[in-house]
Amino acid sequence: MAAADAPITNPLLRSKAYYGGSWQTTDGATFEVRNPASGNVIATVTEADPEMTRAAVSSAANAFTKWKKRTARERSNLLYRWFELITDHREALAQLLTLEQGKPLLEAKGEVTYGASFVRWFAEEAPRIYGDLAPASSQNKRTVVLKEPVGVVAAITPWNFPVAMITRKVAPALAAGCTVVVKPSEETPLCALALAELADRAGFPPGVFNVLPTTMVKEVGEVLTTHPSVRKVSFTGSTEVGRLLMRQCAGTLKKLSLELGGNAPFIVFDDADLDAAVAGAVASKYRNAGQTCICANRFYVQRAVYDEFYDKLRREVGKLKVGDGFDAAVKIGPLINKEAVTKVTEMLNEARTEGAVVWTPLSCDLPAGNYLAPTVVTEVSAAMRLVREEIFGPVSPLLPFDREEDAIELANATEAGLAAYFYGKDHARIWRVAEALDYGMVGVNTGAISTAAAPFGGVKQSGFGREGGKYGIEEYLTTKYVCWQVE
């Protein structure tokens, strides 16, 4: 199928904003969505403006008064229905995802399954929200603790996982009894609108789930972060934007979850199973063309196994075909846009100037467009941008180390604290290193840590709040204490 033809036939393609339970437009204002593989326009969608944003927030606030009173089982049943519909439409959603985001179709299908798993998980969590009866301070009093939904939630989501980053926020919010306004990335609004279509079919009441596609990021973001009816903002994106949103939220003291940038170290100790470490490295680094917040960003390899790891890694990276995500043989799709390619290319060029050696597979035949060859970089120093900053591209910088304490020091020498990985067999060391790494998530002998059951989130400048698992729903609840004088 030609990429440019897909939207015409995709049954989930929607082009209007969705709020108050219907599809809405603004005086003909629209913007274009492009396929990063070809640059072709694949859809023209409604441009939500600040006025529309206020209207969507109002409809979410109206809906909240009734939605929060539904029983947990009723909310759960609707989430289950949404899960079934997402699962039934996996193929169509994955096609839209590859079309607007670029990742290989197989990965896109994996993301839809992963995204749906949050909806099922929180359908299961909705009826398990418990309060407490705390010890009383006197015989005639009772100390009752209630868990209540926080209110209207604004979810500001990124382009790298256009399905899963929405469901990971929206499903726990709806399960808790909150209503949600989603502002998806302007690069990938189509998956968000497709999810709205499926939520509509699932039967969520009008105003419970709303989606505002827009390129007026600043203006719409300002309404969402300052509107008094919005009680919680959940954002996934860069640390810089996270800080700005936090400042904007300060005026109305909103509850916040910020899942921000990472700079994940990947440590290989000399007792590691090197084949497994290479497989984990490839899975962690090159999925989504390296555009994942938890991608391994820099590799520290113990000197005794450095050369062998380098050889094995090159062998595997050499097999990764780059191209359009609709080609079944492709493992690395395009980067999201030209600016992303320029940024990564500049980082590589700077590293070369500073003495790094950049290896690219000989057979790598790059199509025209936003493509980058996968690379492995050696002769790297800690001062290089490739090490200090999040790369967000298919680039693996390798650095040797001698002692365990050196690896920990190097790994922790960053302001980021999202994910870290290490490979090794010594059990005592596994505990020591897992505890010493200053990160919200640690992968031990695995490069794949994402699952609906786990608390996803970071420390330090990677933000705060957790998504997923039993922890994810807490972010959308407040605790009310009722002091009851019984006689």
Q: Which two tokens stand for residue 204?
A: 């969520």
Closer residue to ligand SIN (CB): 81 or 287: 287
- In 3-state terms the chain splits into helix, strand, coil percentages (rounded to 5) of 45, 20, 35
Q: Does 161 bind ligand SIN (CB under 6 A)?
A: yes
Closer residue to ligand SIN (CB): 77 or 445: 445
Q: Does 67 bind ligand SIN (CB under 6 A)?
A: no
Q: Is the dihedral of CA 229, 231, 232, 233 positive or negative?
A: positive
CA dist., res. 257 & res. 259, Å (int)? 7
The count of C-alpha atoms lying within 13 angstroms of the C-alpha of 153, restricted to the half-sphere facing its C-beta, is 31
User: How long, in residues, is the chain?
Assistant: 487
> Taking Cα atoms as reference points, which of 287, 440, 461, 339 lies closest to residue 388?
461
Piece of 160-168, 241-249, 250-258, 435-443 that binds ligand SIN (CB under 6 A): 160-168
Residue of the chain from 245, 293, 433, 473 that contacts ligand SIN (CB under 6 A): 293
Piece of 226-234, 286-294, 301-309, 473-481 that binds ligand SIN (CB under 6 A): 286-294
- How many CB atoms are located within 10 Å of the residue 365 CB? 11
Q: Does 179 bind ligand SIN (CB under 6 A)?
A: no
DSSP letter at 12 equals: T
72 burial via Cβ count (<10 Å: 0-12, 13-18, 19+): middle
Residue with tokens 């979810």: 155
DSSP string computed for 75-108: HHHHHHHHHHHHHHTHHHHHHHHHHHH---HHHH
- How do strand 141-149 and strand 132-134 relate by DSSP bridges? antiparallel
Q: Which two tokens stand for residue 402?
A: 């001698």
Closer residue to ligand SIN (CB): 47 or 111: 111
Piece of 2-10, 210-218, 291-299, 316-324 that binds ligand SIN (CB under 6 A): 291-299
3-state secondary structure at position 180: strand
Q: Buried (b) or exposed (e) across 156-168, using 16+ Cβ within 10 A?
A: bbbbbbbbbbbbb
Q: Binders of ligand SIN: how many residues, by CB under 6 A?
A: 10
The count of C-alpha atoms lying within 13 angstroms of the C-alpha of 184, restricted to the half-sphere facing its C-beta, is 35
Closer residue to ligand SIN (CB): 105 or 408: 105
> Taking Cα atoms as reference points, which of 326, 413, 425 lies closest to residue 95?
326
CA dist., res. 179 & res. 414, Å (int)? 36
The interface with ligand SIN within residues 223-262 (CB under 6 A) comprises 236, 259
Q: Does 160 bind ligand SIN (CB under 6 A)?
A: yes
Shortest Cβ 392–ligand SIN spacing (Å): 10
Q: Does 3 bind ligand SIN (CB under 6 A)?
A: no
Shortest Cβ 205–ligand SIN spacing (Å): 29
Closer residue to ligand SIN (CB): 422 or 456: 456
- Rounded to the nearest angstrom, the gap between the alpha carbon of residue 105 and the centroid of all alpha carbons in its chain is 18
Q: Does 300 bind ligand SIN (CB under 6 A)?
A: no
Q: Does 294 bind ligand SIN (CB under 6 A)?
A: yes
Contact 166, 139 (CB under 8 A): no
Shortest Cβ 21–ligand SIN spacing (Å): 29
Q: Is 293 labeled as catalytic in the residue annotation?
A: yes
Shortest Cβ 288–ligand SIN spacing (Å): 8
Shortest Cβ 295–ligand SIN spacing (Å): 8
> No. of H helices and E strands in the chain?
16, 20
Shortest Cβ 453–ligand SIN spacing (Å): 13
Closer residue to ligand SIN (CB): 264 or 301: 264
Going by C-beta distance under 8 Å and a sequence separation of 6 or more, which residues neighbour residue 143? Answer: 133, 134, 135, 136, 137, 481, 482, 483, 484
Q: Does 450 bind ligand SIN (CB under 6 A)?
A: yes
Piece of 145-153, 156-164, 371-379, 402-410 that binds ligand SIN (CB under 6 A): 156-164
Q: Does 117 bind ligand SIN (CB under 6 A)?
A: no
Catalytic residue among 107, 293, 404, 475: 293
Q: Does 292 bind ligand SIN (CB under 6 A)?
A: yes
Q: Is 259 labeled as catalytic in the residue annotation?
A: yes
Piece of 17-25, 159-167, 298-306, 389-397 that binds ligand SIN (CB under 6 A): 159-167
Q: Does 263 bind ligand SIN (CB under 6 A)?
A: no
Please identify every residue annotated as catalytic. 259, 293
Binding site for ligand SIN (CB under 6 A): 160-161, 164, 236, 259, 292-294, 450, 456
